[in-house]
Structure 1
Amino acid sequence: MSIPEITQKLLAAKQNKGLSFADLEKILGRDEVWIAALFYRQASASEEEAKLLVEALELDASYIQELITYPVKGLGPIVPTDPLIYRFYEIIQVYGLPIKAVIHEKFGDGIMSAIDFTLDVEKEEDPKGDRVKIIMSGKFLSYKKW
């Protein structure tokens, strides 16, 4: 998986400034996961959001145009090889159909929106080892009959 050049520059600037995505959340007023998606070109910023980010990272204003451009989304047609990303792929391979069945039982025939959607990552302290808690919330969209 190749990382876009702009992503590399944004990450380097963030590291040089000693900022976290949570720090940028306070500056931009957007969730840290959404900001990370913007860095990895999986989201596009408004002009105001792009200006705030470029100023916070002390980058050239030329980055604004690229940040407001609509990106091509997704990892591509390959199985991800990064171990953390692969685990999400594995989770969906194993639990995708069970999750789908439970959603259909509770909501009916439809899908969970990935557009009207939020995702939060939380750290749960546990004496047996800290846990990653991921909360996904998407609007349910029924299939229509015609």
Structure 2
Amino acid sequence: MTAVAPRVGVTTPILPKSDAAELVVAARIRRGLTWAQVAESIGAPVVWTTAALLGQHPMTAEQAAGVCDLLGLDDAVAESLRRQPSRGSDPARLADPTVYRLVEAVSVYGPALKELIHEEFGDGIMSAINFRVDIARRPHPDGDRVVITLDGKFLDYRW
């Protein structure tokens, strides 16, 4: 007898993005893949792909299907990956030392960066929607450096 996959009805809740993220992380680790390899498989930037798979961006149907095929995950995960997220971070995640140090860096340097953006560009902001972020390793004699590049379109205030 062949097993039949359970039918998902219209009243079946969609898998929460946080649950889908946990399944993605587990499958990626168990298959021995890096985030970069997953991103390459769908032709998307690694930071964006990682954020999307952790629940911060919706994926296209093709991207979600490609990731699920690569990781051996089912349609319920793909459906969740396609959903529009509620962006932001769980306050508990802010206590993680890596995340906290990034928050600390913005807390310390944010006001100076704001002043410099206004001086260089005028009255406006850096978009986090029309935006790219990249991460790289730079060798250094005192220990390798983490290089994070925030690349956002300048949006001027128009009155």
Q: TM-score range by the shorter chain?
A: over 0.9
Identify the residue that residue 102 of structure 1 maps to in structure 2.
116
TM-score by length of 1: 0.93
Name the CA distance, whole Å, in 1 between partners of 2:93 and 2:26: 27
> Structure 2: which 5+ residue stretches go unaligned?
1-16
Name the CA distance, whole Å, in 2 between partners of 1:110 and 1:77: 28
Q: Bigger radius of gyration, 1 or 2?
A: 2
* CA displacement at 1:5 relative to structure 2: 2.0
For residue 81 of structure 1, the aligned residue among 87, 92, 95 is 95
For residue 68 of structure 2, the aligned residue among 54, 59, 74 is 54
For residue 47 of structure 2, the aligned residue among 19, 33, 43 is 33
Amino acid corresponding to residue 76 of structure 2 in structure 1: S
Q: Kindly report the root-mean-square deviation, in angstroms, between the aligned alpha carbons of the 2 structures.
A: 1.5
TM-score by length of 2: 0.86
For residue 133 of structure 1, the aligned residue among 138, 144, 147 is 147
Identity of aligned residues (%): 37
* CA displacement at 1:61 relative to structure 2: 1.8
Name the CA distance, whole Å, in 2 between partners of 1:27 and 1:4: 22
Amino acid corresponding to residue 131 of structure 1 in structure 2: R
Name the CA distance, whole Å, in 2 between partners of 1:136 and 1:76: 22
2:101 counterpart SS class:
helix
Identify the residue that residue 15 of structure 1 maps to in structure 2.
29
Give every structure 1 segment of 4 or more consecutive aligned residues whose post-TM-superposition deviation is greater than 6 Å.
Answer: none
For residue 82 of structure 2, the aligned residue among 37, 53, 68 is 68
* CA displacement at 1:38 relative to structure 2: 1.1
Residue correspondences, number: 143
Name the CA distance, whole Å, in 1 between partners of 2:154 and 2:86: 24
Determine whether 1:42 maps to 2:56: yes
Cα gap change, 1:78 to 1:60, in 2 (>3 Å): closer
* CA displacement at 1:59 relative to structure 2: 0.8
